[in-house]
Amino acid sequence: MSRPTKNPLTPASLATDGIQRANAKTLGPCEMKDTPEGRTARTLALIATDAACAQLARYAVVTDTPAWGAVEAADLLEAARDLLAEGAAP
């Protein structure tokens, strides 16, 4: 039998540092704290995005008519890379 806790964990009741308190606030997706871990994650995401874009570009060069999904994926990756690059700027 589980009993409800006095302060159930909800996204709004958790702080970004993992500590729960009554007035804890979470950050939205556009309000990321600039930490070394965050910069490292963005850098790794940029590297992965660049590698995926390069793979799709190589595919497009060797294929006469690339699949529409590959073209759309390349466009989305380029847009994601631009957003990541904006967040990586100091």
5-32 pLDDT per residue, tens: 565 555 554 555 555 555 555 555 555 5
pLDDT of 49: 93
Residues near 80 by beta carbon (within 8 Å), at least 6 away in sequence: 49
Residue with tokens 């804890």: 24
Q: What percent of the chain has pLDDT over 70?
A: 59
Domain ranges of the chain: 35-90
- 36-79 tens-digit pLDDT: 787 888 889 999 999 999 999 999 889 888 888 988 999 999 99
Question: d(Cα 77, Cα 83) in Å, to the nearest integer?
Answer: 10
pTM confidence score? 0.57
